[in-house]
Amino acid sequence: MKTPQAESPIDRHASLVQSLGLAIAEGSLAPNSVVRLDELETQHNVSRSVVREAARVLSSKGMLASRRRFGTVVQPEAAWNLYDPEVIRWRLASSRRLEQLQALNELRGAIEPQAARLAAERASWDAGSDLVHLAARLWAAGQRGDQDEFLRLDVAFHAAVLKASGNAMFAQLLNLVAEVLTGRAEHGLMPHLPDHEALQLHVDVASAIQRGEAAAAHAAMSRIVQQFAEEVGHIWSEHHPDTAAKAPRQRGESDDAPHRPPSDSLTRPTG
């Protein structure tokens, strides 16, 4: 029988950062509350150097700050680096998960359709062909119900569109989009089998980019982002009927605006 190995200083540091980050994101460590480093040493059975390094990491993310005469103080959410992947992860793990997903998806709605439009205008034929092939593999994984493979390919697809836009700043939003898609899956807000319309829309985006049809690429990606919000809101309301949330309204959409129904003739991608 193997003897359990003692936790390394690196592991203790990572564990403390995770614990404090989650507590701040959840609000159990409230804004403007003072974090006593000596108490953290005792509570987590770690050295002062581990505590200081954890505080330094969280300060770099805007979640903690050192104030004269007060010590280490929890910062309000407005000071956090909300684009930091760990901060996104901690917020998604909190009770405000749906609010975080909605905010991130609204950001996606402002970026990804435009990225798809630019990709249609700028991407090479080979890049467009790669997207079509990726969409076909995504379709197949969705039809099989292989959620792990579907998620991996979905992240890869959206990353490829951002990269194909030719805008380096869009491309650097890859981690943010990956956290949104991964967070939805990890927290049970993804259907077991992807909706057929969602699968077709990914094919539509890829095909439009390959053909250089900017408006069509923009429209299909806009619908993908909108459908994401609708699915998350629906699944959340099923799991939390007392806190059912309304999916965020898309720009230009009125209360009585009809949603595009799923296509009756979904085309299975080839190649």
CA-to-CA dists, residue 116 to 40, 54, 92, angstroms: 47, 39, 26
**Three-class DSSP category at 216:** helix
Q: How far apart are CA 183 and CA 179, in angstroms?
A: 6
Both 233 and 145 in a single domain?
A: yes
Contact between residue 190 and residue 234 where contact means Cβ atoms under 8 Å apart: no
Q: Classify residue 85: in a domain, yes or no.
A: no
Q: Specify if 266 maps to a domain.
A: no
Residue 230's pLDDT is 87
The answer on 148 and 67 residing in a single domain is: no
State the SS3 of 233-263. Answer: HHHHHHHCHHHCCCCCCCCCCCCCCCCCCCC
Please provide the DSSP assignment of 31-72 as one string.
Answer: TT-EE-HHHHHHHHT--HHHHHHHHHHHHHTTSEEEETTTEE
Task: Report the pLDDT value the prediction gives residue 7, as an integer from 0 to 100.
Answer: 65
Structure tokens, 43: 């509570």
Neighbours of 259 (CB within 10 A): 11
What pLDDT shows up at residue 251? 41
- Here the CATH number for the domain that contains residue 36 is 1.10.10.10
pLDDT at 192: 79
Are 113 and 190 in a shared domain?
yes
CA 247 from centre of chain: 16
What contacts 144, CB < 8 A, 6 or more positions away?
A: none
Q: Tens digit of pLDDT for each residue in 109-125?
A: 999 999 999 999 999 99
Q: Can you give the pTM of this predicted structure?
A: 0.80
Instruction: State the residue range of the domain holding 213.
Output: 96-243
* Residue 199, phi then psi, degrees to nearest 5: -65, -45
Specify if 210 maps to a domain: yes
Which stretches of the chain score pLDDT less than 50?
A: 1-4, 244-271
Q: Is residue 152 in a domain?
A: yes
pLDDT at 15: 95
Residue 250 belongs to some domain of the structure: no
Domain co-membership, 229 together with 105 = yes
55 and 112, same structural domain? no
- How many C-beta atoms surround the C-beta of residue 266 within 10 A? 14
Together in a domain, 20 and 138: no
Give the model's pLDDT for residue 11: 86
Quick one: tokens of 214? 């900017």
Assign residue 191 the CATH number of its domain. 1.20.120.530
